[in-house]
Chains A and B, each alone.
Chain A
Amino acid sequence: MARKLRVWVDQQACVGNAMCEAIAPKVFRLNDNRQSEVVDPAADSEEKILEAAENCPVSAIFVEDAETGEQLFP
Chain B
Amino acid sequence: MKTKVLLVGGRSKAKSLATSLIRKGYRVTVVNDTYEDCLELAEIDGLTVINGDGTKPFVLEDANAGDADIAIALTSKDEDNLVICELCKKRFHVKKTVALVLDPKKTDFFYRMGIDSVVCAITAISGIIEQQAFMDKIATLVPIREGRVSVAEVPISGTAPVVGKKLWEINLPKQVIIGCILRGDTPMVPRGDTRILAGDMLVLISSDKQEMAAIKELTGH
Partners in one complex: no
